[in-house]
């Protein structure tokens, strides 16, 4: 890790050293600047050079320091534009055009924030209707560093249009769109910095984590030792040889896709499943998969559709040596490839998939039922299983393959450079990767609050609005009232941060997908976040932005009486369904499913098995599918566990 990290840092500083006058990437063409705040403009020039800055009618001068860094603070401006930013120094000019002043929202977290509009529900219609150029998106490249950086490694602003919106964060875009449709008539900039699969610790600085200098060095040393262990294990898996050129390709010809190829020296692997989890830890590069299936003459003559689940990151697929589909760099996209009859044959058929992945997890993954051959009559023939042949074409031992798990690395490179620019608030969607155990999920409470306070301190705004998405429903429904899973604890840790001012939480256990950690309904998620912003930032004081939240518990006549805040127009149930999702326990701590009914502004909860209730739970499971309590506005009640 040291070599890769230092190379990245060296590249960043080399760019700064050799460039003369330049602006940071976030102040490039199409940028959105935060309204009603002093506007910092900063960058790099020759050491000790005089710098002149003009934005619209505002101007200021500065002198670069000995390292060439300079900064000016221009007066606050109201929403509007377009403006041109012009910076001059020593005969050089740096410019950024089509700048607007509005509200800038930071988007961060893991893959559900990273999830794009093109992969959300109704993607084609949403993209076609995306004609608001006042919504703009900046995607920070996934990158990392051992020390805080003052510039990003890449990125540019994209103006909202049907040509660009497909690549926007879906949660962020639907949030911004709903604000605009609700009358927030200012440009909205989405400053998007996320990394799929990341834990919370990489997004935190040493001070947020409570680290001293020795703790930081201990982290780097532990990572170096881990990398060496991974290297040794991977080399053993590869037979001691590290292929650096793909022998499966010969002058652009896919020789390993040949149907009659001898694969006796290939290993076996289970599909679906990431290769890191099957004996190839830390592997980045290219790997080939092969399997076979049989068809009758009639089936072959009718053609078929190949379903390969999701592939991290890019792939090319062949059937009997004929290419049937390819998808570059789309880890979160299902593969569905039409296989023409001309590529099929009666009897045995060979399927080959070449997968490229140079960061993080790699391979064919997702639900087993997603890997199948669909015949012309709609019959699906399963292709998942342990009998696939597997061979690595190119191996890079990924020092950075798990950087989204290492404390501080993402903060240093993907957040720290952004903190110069004032913002309206932060939207956060993360937590899945911190829910591996109950202990892990419980520890999230302290980490999350420390991170929120640390980000506010870094941006110099103690009141910075911070809104997040509570984890959606996922995995199987509970097998009993004590089957709480780990996500219930993580959700409680998220909710604990509501003790901080200027925070809000979008509850989403009603719009997830039990079979997919990446639910497609990002419209509802963005809408619920926009309600919080409208109420807490944009002044809609009479707008209810949250579903019912537990306030108090009393017991009378063998029934628990549960009281709530955020009642809105009153208590109700989702789609008129019966009230469910409650469990109750007595002093023995044994949980029982409970009956429940709405009684005015409270809910009565009881069970014949618990004559003297002590504790009540609601929606306390990974996938609380029976939980139906809402406000009259349809916002779901937040999960809770309480004792009297």
One domain for residues 577 and 447: no
Distance CA 49, CA 87 (A): 12
* Contact indicator for 339, 413 with CB cutoff of 8 Å: no
Check if the beta carbon of residue 324 is closer than 8 Å to that of residue 343. yes
pLDDT at site 359: 77
146 and 288 together in one domain: no
Cα 115 from chain centroid (whole Å): 6
Shared-domain flag, residues 492 and 589: no
Assign residue 140 the CATH number of its domain: 3.40.50.1110
Report the distance separating Cα 447 and Cα 486, nearest Å: 17
Report if residue 233 sits inside a domain: no
The answer to whether the CB of 136 falls within 8 A of the CB of 159 is yes
CB atoms closer than 10 angstroms to residue 536: 19
Q: Give the CA dihedral 172, 175, 181, 187, nearest 10 degrees.
A: -50
Give CA separation, 577 vs 573, 580, 625, in Å: 6, 8, 12
- For residue 265, what are the domain limits? 239-397
In this structure, the answer to whether residues 245 and 153 fall within a common structural domain is no
Return the closest-CA partner of residue 621 out of 435, 430, 367: 435
Answer whether residue 523 is part of any domain: yes
In 3-state terms the chain splits into helix, strand, coil percentages (rounded to 5) of 25, 35, 40
Q: Please say whether the beta carbons of 56 and 77 come within 8 A.
A: yes
Beta bridge partners of 504: 467
> 393 with 411, same domain?
no
Give the chain's domain count. Answer: 3
Contact 616, 624 (CB under 8 A): no
φ/ψ bin of 240: left (φ > 0), alpha (ψ from -120 to 50), beta (otherwise) = left
* Contact by Cβ (8 Å): 493, 468: no
548 contacts: CB under 8 Å, gap ≥ 6: 564, 565, 566, 567, 568, 571, 629, 630, 631, 635, 637, 638
Verify that 434 and 470 share a domain, yes or no: yes
**515 and 393 together in one domain:** no
Is 234 contained in some domain?
Answer: no
pTM: 0.88
Q: What values do phi and psi take at 150, rounded to 5?
A: -110, 5
The whole-angstrom separation of Cα 396 and Cα 393 is: 10
420 domain residue, yes or no: yes
Burial class of residue 298 (count of CB atoms within 10 Å of its CB; 0-12, 13-18, 19+):
exposed
Task: Please provide the DSSP assignment of 86-142 as one string.
Answer: EEEETTEEEEEEEEEEEEEEEEEESHHHH-BGGGSTTHHHHHHT---TTEEEEEPPS
Would you state the structure tokens that stand for residue 10, as one six-digit string?
């060296």
* Dihedral class, residue 597 (left if φ above 0, else alpha if ψ from -120 to 50, else beta): beta
Strand 92-109 with 425-429, pairing:
parallel
Give Rg (Cα) of the chain: 27
H or E stretch at 8: helix 2-18
For residue 18, give both structure tokens.
């050799």
**What sign for the dihedral angle of Cα 92, 95, 101, 104?**
negative
Counting as low any pLDDT under 70, the low residues of the chain are 1-19, 398-401
Distances in whole angstroms, Cα of residue 168 to Cα of each of 75, 135, 522: 30, 10, 12
Does residue 558 share a domain with residue 523? no
Dist. CA 600–CA 632, nearest whole Å: 12
Among the candidates 343, 371, 397, a domain finishes at 397
Q: How far apart are the first and last CA of the chain?
A: 51
Determine, yes or no, domain membership for 221: no
Question: In sequence order, which residues have a C-beta less than 8 Å from that of residue 576 and are 6 or more positions away?
Answer: none
Asked if residue 436 belongs to a domain, the reply is yes
- Tell me how far apart the alpha carbons of residues 253 and 609 are, in angstroms, rounded to a whole number: 70
Secondary structure of residue 447 in the 3-state scheme = helix
CA distance 607 to 595: 6
137 plus 91 within the same structural domain? yes
Is residue 218 in some structural domain?
no
Q: From CA 316, how far away is CA 181, in angstroms rounded? A: 41
Contact, 560 vs 616, CB < 8 A?
Answer: yes
Is residue 98 located within the same domain as residue 154? yes
291: domain CATH number is 2.60.120.260
pLDDT given for residue 237 in this prediction: 85
Q: Does residue 172 share a domain with residue 44?
A: yes
CB atoms under 10 Å from CB of 254, counted, come to 17
Chosen domain end from 369, 397, 425: 397
Of 397, 422, 456, the last residue of a domain is 397
Q: pLDDT digit string (tens) for 474-496?
A: 999 999 999 999 999 999 999 99
One domain for residues 446 and 586 = no
Residues 6+ apart with CB under 8 A from 229: none
Q: Which residues of 218-227 are buried (b: 16+ CB within 10 A; e: fewer)?
A: ebbeebeeeb
Asked if the structure places residue 215 within a domain, the reply is no
3-state secondary structure 359-387: CCCCEEECCHHHEEEEECCCCEEECCEEE
Query: Residue 432's closest CA among 137, 114, 145?
Result: 114
CA distance 429 to 409: 18
């Amino acid at each position: 890790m040291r070599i890769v990290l230092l190379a990245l840092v060296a590249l960043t500083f080399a760019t700064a050293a050799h460039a003369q006058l330049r602006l940071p990437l976030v102040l490039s063409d199409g940028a959105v600047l935060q309204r009603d705040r002093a506007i910092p403009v900063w960058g790099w020039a020759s050491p000790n050079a005089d710098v002149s800055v003009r934005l619209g009618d505002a101007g200021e001068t500065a002198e670069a320091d000995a390292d060439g860094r300079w900064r000016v603070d221009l007066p606050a401006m109201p929403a509007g534009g377009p403006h041109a930013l012009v910076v001059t120094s020593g005969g050089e000019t740096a410019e950024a055009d089509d700048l607007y002043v509005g509200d800038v929202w930071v988007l961060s977290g893991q893959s559900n924030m990273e999830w794009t509009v093109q992969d959300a529900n109704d993607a084609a219609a949403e993209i076609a209707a995306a004609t608001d150029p006042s919504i703009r998106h900046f995607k920070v490249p996934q990158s990392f560093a051992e020390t805080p950086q003052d510039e990003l490694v890449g990125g540019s602003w994209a103006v909202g249009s049907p040509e660009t919106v497909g690549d926007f964060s879906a949660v962020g875009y639907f949030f911004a769109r709903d604000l605009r449709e609700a009358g927030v008539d200012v440009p909205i900039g989405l400053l998007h910095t996320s990394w799929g699969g990341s834990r919370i610790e990489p997004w935190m600085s040493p001070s947020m984590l409570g680290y001293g200098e020795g703790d930081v060095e201990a982290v780097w040393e532990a990572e170096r030792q881990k990398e060496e262990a991974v290297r040794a294990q991977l080399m053993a898996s590869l037979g001691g040889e590290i292929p650096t050129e793909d022998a499966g390709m010969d002058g652009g010809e896919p020789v390993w896709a040949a149907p009659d190829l001898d694969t006796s020296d290939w290993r076996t692997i289970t599909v679906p499943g990431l290769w890191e989890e099957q004996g190839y830890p830390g592997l980045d590069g290219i790997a080939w998969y092969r399997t076979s299936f049989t068809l009758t003459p009639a089936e072959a003559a009718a053609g078929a559709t190949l379903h390969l689940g999701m592939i991290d990151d890019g792939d090319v697929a062949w059937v009997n040596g004929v290419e049937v589909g390819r998808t570059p760099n789309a880890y979160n996209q299902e593969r569905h490839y039409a296989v023409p009859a001309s590529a099929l044959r009666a009897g045995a058929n060979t399927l080959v998939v070449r997968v490229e992945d140079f960061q993080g997890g790699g391979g064919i993954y997702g639900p087993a039922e997603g890997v199948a051959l669909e015949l012309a009559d709609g019959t699906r023939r399963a292709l998942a299983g342990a009998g696939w042949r597997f061979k690595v074409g190119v191996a890079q031992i990924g020092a950075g393959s798990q950087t989204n798990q290492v404390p501080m690395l993402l903060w240093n490179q993907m957040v720290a450079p952004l903190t110069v620019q004032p913002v309206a608030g932060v939207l956060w969607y993360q937590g899945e990767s911190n829910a591996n155990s109950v202990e892990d999920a419980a520890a999230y409470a302290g980490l999350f609050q420390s991170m929120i306070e640390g980000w506010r301190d870094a941006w110099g705004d103690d009141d910075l609005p911070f809104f997040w998405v509570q984890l959606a429903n996922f995995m199987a429904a509970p097998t009993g009232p004590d089957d709480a899973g780990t996500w219930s604890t993580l959700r409680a840790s998220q909710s604990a941060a509501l003790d901080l001012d200027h925070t809000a939480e979008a509850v989403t256990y009603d719009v997830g997908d039990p079979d997919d950690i990446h639910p497609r309904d990002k419209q509802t998620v963005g809408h619920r976040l926009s309600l919080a912003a409208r109420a807490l930032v944009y002044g809609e004081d009479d707008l209810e932005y949250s579903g019912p939240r537990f306030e108090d518990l009393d017991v009378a006549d063998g029934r628990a009486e549960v009281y709530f805040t955020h009642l809105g127009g009153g208590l109700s149930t989702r789609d008129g369904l019966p009230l469910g999702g409650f469990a109750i326990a007595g002093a023995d701590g044994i949980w029982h499913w409970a009956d429940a009914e709405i009684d005015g502004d409270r809910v009565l909860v009881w069970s014949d098995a618990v004559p003297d209730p002590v504790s009540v739970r609601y929606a306390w499971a990974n996938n609380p599918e029976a939980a139906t309590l809402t406000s009259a506005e349809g916002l779901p009640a937040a999960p809770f566990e309480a004792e009297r």
